Amino acid sequence: MKKTFLALACASLIPAVSAGFDQTEEVARAKQAVAGFSAALKSELMAAMQSGGALRAIEVCHTRAAEISEEVSLETGMSLFRVSQQNRSPSNVPNDWQTAVLQDFKSRILAGEEAASLSWYAQAETADGPEFRFMKAIPTGGLCLQCHGTQIAPEVADKLSEIYPQDKATGFKPGDLRGAFVVTSRVD
Ligand code: HEC
């Protein structure tokens, strides 16, 4: 499975178009963008959980996740967002190549790899020119279960279904793949 996927990923790779483009450096920049987003969202999420519990923290995820990813995208010049095959927000549906990577992450977790250690990158041709693509798996941790787990408090569940009538992001256990960060950038 892993081999098949890698073969597919390699087929979509194109030779470096610009001598100045360094994939290793771009991977490092993408990882930094992800770390910046994660740290900012997590600290706001935890502060809200402490002051007003999960009910209050839903607002942070609802409004701040998209705002923070926009801020990070502006700062870094890379586009950063989150996707999940079991998405809560309708904006976080993965496209075809993102779904293929998520599937690969899932099989690697089944084969015994830790979700926290999984990432992937490639360079691909698009209608707008060559694009650098990076994804990093998002594992489910203990903190996440109040809103993504199997036993969600009734008032939290009510609020979630009010804001997200199509919510698919519940039923997760610690260590499960919750989704992934996606970072893309133009290759000049
Ligand atoms: C207080 C409730 C709450 C907690 C706790 C929480 N989330 Fe979420 N999560 C949400 C909400 C609400 C959204 C939808 C955000 C939006 O509208 O963009 C979301 C969306 C996401 C998404 C984007 C994909 C999707 O399903 O739309 C990921 C990935 C995610 N959460 C991971 C986590 C992880 C990992 C943790 C633990 C570190 C966590 N969440 C903790 C409420 C929560």
Bridge partner residues of 42 (DSSP): none
User: In whole angstroms, what is the distance from residue 119 CA to residue 96 CA?
Assistant: 17
The whole-number pLDDT of residue 6 equals 44
How many helices, marked H, and strands, marked E, lie in the chain?
6, 4
Q: Residue 2 pLDDT more than 60?
A: no
Give the tens place of pLDDT for each residue, 14-44: 444 455 678 999 999 999 999 999 999 999 9
Q: Is 148 in the pocket of ligand 1 (CB under 6 A)?
A: yes
Could you identify the atom of ligand 1 that is nearest to the CA of residue 62? 17
Question: What are the Cα distances from residue 83, in Å, to 69, 179, 181?
Answer: 12, 6, 7
Q: How far is the CA of 87 from the centre of ligand 1 (A)?
A: 9
Testing ligand 1's pocket by substitution, the residue of 83, 148, 158, 172 carrying the most ligand atoms inside 8 A of its CB is 148
Tokens found for residue 63: 């409004």
Q: Residue 118 pLDDT more than 50?
A: yes
The whole-number pLDDT of residue 12 equals 45
Q: How far is the CA of 71 from the centre of ligand 1 (A)?
A: 18
The whole-number pLDDT of residue 123 equals 95
Long-range contacts of 35-43 (CB under 8 A, 24+ apart): 36/72, 36/75, 36/76, 37/68, 37/69, 37/72, 37/80, 37/181, 38/181, 40/68, 40/71, 40/72, 41/65, 41/68
pTM, to two decimals: 0.90
Q: How far is the CA of 67 from the centre of ligand 1 (A)?
A: 14
Q: Residue 151 pLDDT more than 50?
A: yes
Percentage of the residues of the chain whose pLDDT score is greater than 70: 89
Testing ligand 1's pocket by substitution, the residue of 56, 62, 147 carrying the most ligand atoms inside 8 A of its CB is 147
Would you say how long the chain is, in residues?
188
Q: How far is the CA of 106 from the centre of ligand 1 (A)?
A: 19
The whole-number pLDDT of residue 13 equals 45
Q: Residue 188: pLDDT band by 50, 70, 90 thresholds? A: confident
Q: Is 84 in the pocket of ligand 1 (CB under 6 A)?
A: yes
